[in-house]
Amino acid sequence: MTIDLPKGRAPSIRDVARLAGVSHQTVSRVLNDHPSIRESTKAKVLQVMEDLQYRPNRAARALSRGRSRTIGLLSAESAYGPASSIAAIQDAAQEAGYYVNTANLTTVDTESIEAALEHLMNQSVEGIVVIAPQVRVFDALEQLSIDVPFVTLQSTGRLDNSLSVDQMTGARQATRHLIDLGHRSIYHLAGPQDWIEAEARMRGFLDEMWEMDVPTMAPILGDWTADFGYRAGRELLRRRDFTAIFASNDQMALGFMHACREEGLDLPRDMSIVGYDDIPEAAHFWPPLTTVRQDFAELGRRCIALLLSNLNGGVPIERSDPIVPELIVRGSTAPPAF
């Protein structure tokens, strides 16, 4: 087929109609999968669209259908956990035939959150997913009126329409692993204050230490970075009154391992370390890092299923139990050398 279009102009629906020998209304019906269109006509129109590399205007189609097929994603921070949750949600939404528009929060005050929500609503989103792991974000959400169905990913249980990973259980698994190996002097490098996941992991650590009747040393509040893990390691290793570390994420564990290496310690003979998240690089640390793995793909699937059940008027899906993470034992932990 010979296709002559003015240079620099994208093909339009009328170009498709002209070359397919049909009306532009027929092309529109093909785009909307209308049942009245004959298969032969549909096949001819689709072939012309492919030849022209025609891409229909999504916004126009949304207006004609009364549905945008778009989900809004409100996100704050870029730590591994939230970033992986975003990727999982985007994949699950795409499988369900939805697009995702993201609004990133640089600050998490009420005014910024309200502006981000308004931005998403102006994109005609049908529903919203909130991935903002700080407590103050949910304080703000409780004060705002959101006019479309929404789902939150968090661990407080304060909002009914929420999904989460059981961070406390993951932290208890990591702590129990160290205790079972024989460690009795364990420090916890915690995440930042106000982060829901950091608080849950710290509570899990403290609960497991208390339940196992192991003396507890005050957790050290960090900032998720490898730099902090390194600095904390340099400071703690001056006194060496412990044999194991449970870090609230893998990056801080990596920084702590760096400090141990500089001190000439052999890992795990002289020091055991457990991280959290199982980032892709964790298996390639030296030694490979024992850590806690979260199933972000399942979290994304559940999130979209819950949201779409509200959007499409189906039977409401009850809030499911938190997803239980998995302890991944590698080479960074061993019994203490007494």
* Residue range 119-130, pLDDT digits in tens: 888 778 888 888
Listed in sequence order, the residues at least 6 apart from 269 whose beta carbon sits closer than 8 Å to its beta carbon are 334, 337
End-to-end CA distance of the chain: 81
- Residue 270 neighbours by CB under 8 Å, 6+ apart: 260, 337
For residue 267 the two structure tokens come to 């890992």
- pTM of structure: 0.75
- Other beta carbons less than 10 A from residue 9's beta carbon: 8
- Find out whether 272 and 298 touch, Cβ atoms under 8 Å: no
Give the closest residue to 262 by CA, choosing from 235, 244, 284: 235
What's the token pair of residue 36? 């009245």
Tokens standing for residue 186: 């364990």
- CATH code for the part of the protein at 167-294: 3.40.50.2300
* The pLDDT of residue 156: 53
| pLDDT greater than 90 at residue 234 | yes
Whether the domain at 13-56 and the domain at 67-165+296-324 fall into the same CATH topology = no
Instruction: Answer for the pair 267, 257: CB distance below 8 angstroms, yes or no.
Output: yes
pLDDT bin (cut points 50, 70, 90) of residue 311 is confident
Provide the pLDDT for residue 224.
93
- Give the residue with greater pLDDT, 330 vs 317: 330
SS3 percent helix, strand, coil of the chain, rounded to 5, is: 45, 15, 40
Alpha helices by DSSP H, the chain: 13-20, 24-31, 39-52, 58-65, 80-95, 110-122, 135-141, 167-180, 196-211, 226-236, 250-262, 296-311
What residue type is 155 in one-letter code?
A: S
Q: How many CA atoms lie within 13 A of 42 on its CB side?
A: 11
In CATH, what is the architecture of 67-165+296-324?
3-Layer(aba) Sandwich (3.40)
- In whole angstroms, what is the distance from residue 198 CA to residue 214 CA? 21
Is pLDDT of 255 > 60?
Answer: yes
Condensed to tens digits (0 to 9), the pLDDT of residues 81-96 reads 667 778 888 888 888 8
Q: What are the boundaries of each domain within the chain?
A: 13-56, 67-165+296-324, 167-294
Percent of the chain residues topping a pLDDT of 90: 40
Question: What are 12-62's pLDDT values in tens digits?
Answer: 778 888 898 988 778 877 876 777 788 899 899 888 888 887 766 555 555
| pLDDT at position 301 over 90 | no
The fold of 13-56 is 434 Repressor (Amino-terminal Domain) (1.10.260)
Longest dimension (CA), the chain: 85
